[in-house]
Amino acid sequence: MGCGCGPKIRNIQRTMIPRAKRNNDKAIEMKANGIGDALLGLVAVKGYQKKHGHASYACKNQEWVKLFDGYDALLPINQANAININEGYQAECKGKAQKPRWKRYCELAGVEPATPELKNREKLFEQSKPYRGCIALAPFSIYNSRNYSLEGWITLEKVLHARGFRVVLLHNNIVPLARFKAEKLVGKPADVVASVLLNAACFVGVDSGMAHLASLIGTPTCVLCGPTNAKDIFYTPIIEVKSQLHCQGCFWQQPYNAACDKACSALWNITPHQIVEAIEMNMTLRHISPRTIMAERELRILRDNVLAVKELDGECAEIGVYKGGSAKIVLHFSTCPVHLYDTFNGQPADDSHGEHKQGDFNDTSLEAVKTYLASDRAVYHQGTFPDDVADVKYKFVHFDADTYQAAKGLVEKIVPRMVKGGRIVVSDFGWKRTPGVKKAIEESGLMYTMASEYQAVIVC
């Protein structure tokens, strides 16, 4: 794992514990050197503590480990008869992490994983409260192959400023930050860095110790990936950003181009705008989650298809708006009018082929949706679809009306108005409670592809 902020700890104070426990329990030992390694190892250490009632952890970078719970004692490395949870690292790389790293740690310790909790959370939050809502960047790792390009970081900083975000830079050396304009927090102690991250709206970095710190704290963490895949390295949820190049995820194994030792071309292929989009998407998802029953993956597919038709002429629509959560996605990632079709007071009639009944989803209203969306591009059509369909050309439509009758209306009233290349995302396609949706689409002969388990995409 890469090095982050803060000075190295030279004097490690051994926490005293009862002699009987020290003699009977093996220490969990992390042989790897990085901050991220020590923090990720806590997942296994806390699991050991939960199972045995006590855990000693031998590792480096203890200033950062001390921010969290999950152990009774911190010890110097090279303990006699310790359990080395980093055993098998080379096999992990050769196998491209077929078994996630945290899982290997836990299996070697013989425990189930447990998430370490940040100590003194309220105090740390108050300590750096002026940084509330900032975007924290940690641009560098000590491993060159994990570093994103300097020009990419500088461009990202400019784009974030242009979008109105406050940017703060975290590092342990001022020299690499010379070309950046944002505020720089250099060589700060662990508690200061943690308190800033706790207040940040989002953290952006590479596969590094600071990324592990941010994700363990619970800050939305955007990780730029190239030689490693974040899903195989991180235990806590992260936002993974990676390019579409074929060479990504090499885990430093041959064969690969010798130039990869200095810079990962897959990593450098990520664009700053792609990173900003990931940040904004995450912030949007967190905002809308109470107002939609769609899963995060489904919302991302919705976003991707809105963006895919952004350059086409035409307008957007959503059929089945409910509380406005998914409409927020369509509005956020488009610039055209968005037509919203719904009764805004629940299901208008029983589904002739499915299980939905009149009155389902009635915990909403037109006024509440208007207040929530607060957009002058939203065009509201209150009533039973397809009684009132705007006679415009559509380039994107999200259909989430659940019933056979509404799906027939989609085929008859919307499809003829779609521009060439336009897209329709059909939700609840093939779900057992809404069989009429799939039936109506297949009866029409329209071609579709499955984007997720219950989402079909029709390209017109």
Examine the fold and report which residue of 253, 278, 303 is the final residue of a domain before the chain moves on.
278
The average pLDDT across 304-310 equals: 92
| Spatial distance between the Cα atoms of 167 and 162, rounded to a whole number of angstroms | 11
pLDDT reading at 196 higher than 90 = yes
pLDDT reading at 15 higher than 50 = no
CATH number, domain of 452, equals 3.40.50.150
Among the residue ranges 169-178, 230-239, 397-406, the one predicted with the least confidence is 230-239
Residues present in the chain in total: 460
The average pLDDT across 205-219 equals: 95
Q: Identify the three-state secondary structure at position 321.
A: coil
Residue 185 lies in a domain: yes
| Spatial distance between the Cα atoms of 119 and 122, rounded to a whole number of angstroms | 9
Crossing angle (nearest 10°) for helices 296-308 and 272-288: 130
307 plus 200 within the same structural domain? no
DSSP state, 411?
I
Examine the fold and report which residue of 109, 133, 150 is the final residue of a domain before the chain moves on.
109
Residue 287 lies in a domain: no
Residue 284 lies in a domain: no
The average pLDDT across 192-207 equals: 96
pLDDT in tens, 320-378: 999 999 999 999 889 999 999 999 987 777 766 767 677 677 788 999 999 999 999 99
105 plus 176 within the same structural domain? no
Q: Give the pLDDT of residue 237.
A: 85
- Report angle CA 449, 450, 456 to the nearest 5 degrees: 85
pLDDT reading at 280 higher than 60 = yes
348 plus 453 within the same structural domain? yes
Nearest Cα to 311, choosing from 371, 396, 250, 383? Answer: 396
Residue 393 lies in a domain: yes
79 plus 156 within the same structural domain? no
Residue 137 lies in a domain: yes
Cα first-last separation, the chain: 46
424 plus 445 within the same structural domain? yes
Q: Please indicate whether residue 72 or residue 363 has the higher confidence score (pLDDT).
A: 72
318 plus 190 within the same structural domain? no
139 plus 273 within the same structural domain? yes
| Spatial distance between the Cα atoms of 424 and 150, rounded to a whole number of angstroms | 39
pLDDT in tens, 92-145: 888 888 889 999 999 999 999 999 999 999 999 999 999 999 999 999 988 888
Q: Give the pLDDT of residue 318.
A: 97
250 plus 301 within the same structural domain? no
Domain total of the chain: 3
Q: Give the pLDDT of residue 221.
A: 94
Crossing angle (nearest 10°) for helices 272-288 and 325-332: 160
231 plus 271 within the same structural domain? yes
CATH number, domain of 197, equals 3.40.50.2000
pLDDT reading at 85 higher than 80 = yes
| Spatial distance between the Cα atoms of 106 and 44, rounded to a whole number of angstroms | 5
Q: Where are the beta strands (DSSP E) in 248-370?
A: 315-319, 338-342
220 plus 297 within the same structural domain? no
* b (16+ CB within 10 A) / e for 370-402: eebbebeebbbbeebbbeebbeeebbbbbbbbb
Residue 14 lies in a domain: no
The average pLDDT across 224-238 equals: 87
Q: What is the mean pLDDT of the chain?
A: 88
257 plus 326 within the same structural domain? no
90 plus 148 within the same structural domain? no
Examine the fold and report which residue of 74, 109, 144 is the final residue of a domain before the chain moves on.
109
Domain of residue 405 covers 292-459
Residue 286 lies in a domain: no
Residue 283 lies in a domain: no
Q: Give the pLDDT of residue 21.
A: 43
- In the chain, the percentage of residues whose pLDDT exceeds 70 is 92
Residue 8 confidence class, pLDDT cut points 50, 70, 90:
very low
Helical (H) or strand (E) element with 159: helix 150-162
